[in-house]
Amino acid sequence: MSIPQDVGIAAYRPPVQVPRDPPREDPPTDPTAPGLHPDHQVARGPNDFRLGIEGPDPDLAVGGSHDQQETQRDKLLALATLALGSYTTGHTPLTPRVPNDGQVEDVLATLNPNPPIGEDGDEVTHAVYQSEIPNATAQEGYDHFVQNPNEVFNAGGMEIRPPTDQLVDGGRYMLEIGTPVPTWLPVQISLDPNAHSIGIQTLDGHVLRGEQTFTFTDDGNGGTVLTQDARFQASSRLPEELQQITPIAAGQHEAWQNAHQEIYGEFNGDPGFQGIGTDFSPSALLDSWGQALGNIIRDPGNAADVGIDVVGELANFGIDGLGSGIDDAFDYLGIPGGDFVQGAFDSAGDFVSGAADAIGDGAEWVIDKIPFL
């Protein structure tokens, strides 16, 4: 570098290098991409939050074979029992958390990934959530999500168990929600620091079969575009039925909208954004239950059908469990024929579930014909 001759060496200062914004990157997809239609029920907010949907929504299709659905149902109900204890003890002062963190880790270790099965737009719902984050690079947005997962997930109404201060590649976590009933949502995380992306895959027992990727891309103006590309479906007949009373897809959309808002607020004057939060709130419970009650009042015939179908599915679960217990006892005692007995109980459970479906359909037809309903 040459120094101008009319400037003394001691007085010379090199020109200041003004930092440049990272160049613009193309987001992986867009909510207005072909095949996606906008969901106008979400609030755009200051971060220009948008949602494009393809496929069943708000009523999700159920994925997998009959046996796969029953497996997911069994694991979901087992996790629901643990979630109730965890949520209750977690919001009762001076009470040890049950199950404890070690037990939660043990449960997570036994679960397998359960990705969606089928075609996008048919059996699988495809959703693209996108928002703007001014004043943050893609690296900064990515780092905030990875290094502050509690703030992001809590804003969406989810508590992370076991607690963690930072997401790790391959990490497994139980996301706990409290409304409308305590539920555990097991997931596995994958991280790609070079692409500034975070992947989330559901595990056995999750209400949904699903997978999604959060990708942060620089917009060329010192800000970031956050694109969340998600694919999901109901994991068993239980959520498929219950979503008609308590919409599952709408709850997911609201949760992720608040998570996006938390990341936006971190860099734009609202770092303490709480969103849905995880504190016990009677008003939140009443609001959630009130929405379900409203759906029941608006369509009592459908509510009766759903209630009977759910009872039939729970009876099927009990009968299947009894058959499995007898099979295990036969194996322990060395008595042949356990598989045959279990198969017979499985068939009986399916018959009960099918009969409940028929009775529920009949009840809905009758109730719909009552003039004052």
pLDDT digits (tens, 9 = 90+) for 57-104: 999 999 999 999 999 999 999 999 999 999 999 999 999 999 999 999
- Greater model confidence, 285 or 91: 91
The model's pLDDT over 137-165, given as tens digits with 9 standing for 90+, comes to 999 999 999 999 999 999 999 999 999 99
Residue range 25-62, pLDDT digits in tens: 999 999 999 999 999 888 899 999 999 999 999 999 99
Structure confidence at residue 197 (pLDDT): 98
pLDDT of residue 95: 94
Encoding tokens for residue 130? 């996108």
The answer on pLDDT for 373 being more than 80 is no
Residue with tokens 């595990």: 203
So what's the pLDDT on residue 21? 85
- Asked if the model's pLDDT at residue 261 lies above 80, the reply is yes
Task: Round to whole Å and give the CA distance between 156 and 150.
Answer: 10
166, 269 contact by CB (below 8 A)? no
The tokens describing 299, both together, are 């369509």
pLDDT for 40: 83
Q: What percent of the chain has pLDDT over 70?
A: 94
Lowest mean pLDDT among 255-259, 275-279, 291-295: 291-295
- Tell me the helix, strand and coil percentages in the chain, rounded to 5: 45, 20, 40
pLDDT of 13 above 80: no
- Which pLDDT value is given to residue 5? 58
Q: Report the half-sphere exposure of 371 (CA within 13 A, side-chain side).
A: 0
Average pLDDT over residues 167-186: 96
Strands 197-202 and 208-218: antiparallel
Q: Are 139 and 147 in contact (CB under 8 A)?
A: no
Q: How confident is the model at residue 14 (pLDDT cuts 50, 70, 90)?
A: low
* Average pLDDT value over all residues in the chain: 93
| CA-CA-CA-CA torsion sign (290, 292, 295, 301) | negative
Q: 53 in helix, strand or coil? A: strand
Lowest-confidence region among 72-76, 196-200, 249-253, 257-261: 249-253
Q: Give the mean pLDDT of 211-230.
A: 97
Tell me, what's the pLDDT at 2? Answer: 55
